[in-house]
C-alpha cells in the first residue's frame, strides 16, 4: 500500500512537471514572438547568467574579443545585466531555439518516466517495459548532452549592460567556451544501468515462469 | 536443447492423459504441456519427485541428455 501511494505521488509530480514544461514552452514562444513586435514591453526582461544555456559547470574560456577599449573599467563598475531585447536577432533566436529543444527533450524524459510508473501496474510486462523506458531516457539524455556541448562551442555575441554612475553602458562581447555537464553524464549512465538491470530481471522472470 | 524430456513416452507407457497426470501431480496442464514439449527452462525436485511417484519411474526415464 505504501509503495502504491509513493508511485501515485510520483505520478502526480511527473504530470505536474509535464504540464509546467508545456506551459514554459508556450510562454517562451509567446515572449519571443511578442518581443519582436513590441520590444518596449520586454525592456527589463533579463537573461540570468546561471540559466541553463549560460551555465558553465566545467568550462574554459578560450578567447574573448572585447569591442570597447575601456571595458575593464566597465566590468568593475557594477552588476552585469543581460537584457533579452538588447541581444541581436541571431542570439535571441539561438537562445529561444536551444531552450525549446531542451524543453522538448526534458518533456520526452518526463513522458518516459510516466510510462515507467504506469508499467509498474502491469506485472507481466513490467520489467520489459521499464527496460525500454530507461533505454529511451538514456538516448534522450545523450541527445541533450550532445546538444548542450555542441551549442556551447558556437560563439555567441552577448550584449551586457552595466550601471555606471546611473548611466547604462552596453558592452558587446563574443565568448567561446565549452560546457560539459557531468550531472547529465551521471544521469545517462544511471539510466543505462537501470535499463540493463530491468532487462536482466525480465530474463530471470521468464526463466522462472518456465520453471515447472 | 541438450536435455530431452521423455514425459510423453512415459505417459503413453502408463496410459495416462495430460489432464489426469496434472491433477495427480498438482500442477496446471499448461505447465505440464510446457514440460512435455521441452520448452521448460528448469524443473523443481518436488515436481520431478511427484511425476516419478505418479508414473512409477526413475528421473532418468523422463530426462535424457544428448550431446548437441
With CB atoms and an 8 Å threshold, state whether A210 touches B40.
Answer: yes
Q: What is the pTM (predicted TM-score) of this model? A: 0.72
ipTM for the predicted complex:
0.78
For A70, residues 6+ apart whose C-beta sits below 8 A from its C-beta are none
Q: How far apart are CA A140 and CA A133, in angstroms?
A: 11
Q: How far is B31 from chain A, CA to nearest CA, in Å?
A: 6
Q: Say which DSSP state A41 is in.
A: G
Q: Does A210 touch chain B (CB under 8 A)?
A: yes
3-state DSSP: chain B helix, strand, coil percent, rounded to 5?
55, 10, 30
A-chain CB neighbours of B31 within 8 Å are: 212
- Whether residue A211 contacts residue B42, with contact meaning beta carbons closer than 8 Å, is answered with yes
Candidate from A54-58, A102-106, A148-152, A157-161 with smallest mean pLDDT? A54-58
Backbone dihedral angles phi then psi of residue A56, each to the nearest 5 degrees: -120, 85
- Identify the CA nearest to B51 among candidates B4, B15, B23: B23
Q: Note the pLDDT tens digit of each residue in A42-92.
A: 777 777 654 444 444 333 333 333 333 344 444 455 566 777 777 778 878
With CB atoms and an 8 Å threshold, state whether A212 touches B35.
Answer: yes
Amino acid at each position: 500500500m505504501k509503495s502504491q501511494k509513493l508511485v501515485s505521488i510520483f505520478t502526480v509530480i511527473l504530470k505536474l512537471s509535464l504540464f509546467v514544461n508545456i506551459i514554459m514552452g508556450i510562454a517562451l514562444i509567446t515572449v519571443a514572438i511578442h518581443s519582436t513586435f513590441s520590444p518596449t514591453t520586454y525592456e527589463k526582461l533579463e537573461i540570468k547568467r546561471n540559466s541553463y544555456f549560460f551555465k558553465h559547470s566545467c568550462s574554459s574560456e578560450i578567447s574573448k574579443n572585447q569591442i570597447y577599449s575601456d571595458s575593464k573599467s566597465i566590468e568593475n563598475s557594477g552588476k552585469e545585466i543581460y537584457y533579452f531585447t538588447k541581444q541581436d536577432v541571431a542570439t535571441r533566436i539561438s537562445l529561444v531555439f536551444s531552450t525549446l529543444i531542451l524543453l522538448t527533450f526534458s518533456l520526452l524524459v518526463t513522458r518516459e518516466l510516466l510510462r515507467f510508473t504506469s508499467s509498474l501496474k502491469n506485472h507481466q510486462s513490467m520489467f520489459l517495459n521499464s527496460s525500454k523506458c530507461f533505454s529511451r531516457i538514456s538516448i534522450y539524455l545523450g541527445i541533450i548532452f550532445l546538444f548542450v556541448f555542441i551549442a556551447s562551442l558556437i560563439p555567441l555575441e552577448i550584449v551586457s549592460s552595466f550601471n555606471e554612475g546611473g548611466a547604462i553602458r552596453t558592452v558587446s562581447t563574443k565568448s567561446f567556451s565549452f560546457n560539459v555537464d557531468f550531472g547529465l553524464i551521471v544521469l545517462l549512465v544511471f539510466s543505462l544501468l537501470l535499463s540493463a538491470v530491468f532487462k536482466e530481471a525480465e530474463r530471470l522472470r521468464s526463466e522462472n515462469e518456465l520453471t515447472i | 536443447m541438450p536435455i530431452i524430456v521423455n514425459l510423453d513416452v512415459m505417459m503413453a507407457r502408463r496410459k495416462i492423459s495430460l489432464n489426469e497426470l496434472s491433477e495427480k501431480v498438482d500442477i496446471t496442464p499448461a505447465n505440464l504441456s510446457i514440460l512435455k514439449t521441452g520448452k521448460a527452462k528448469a524443473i523443481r525436485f518436488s515436481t520431478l519427485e511427484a511425476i516419478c511417484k505418479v508414473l512409477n519411474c526413475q528421473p532418468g526415464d523422463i530426462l535424457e541428455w544428448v550431446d548437441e
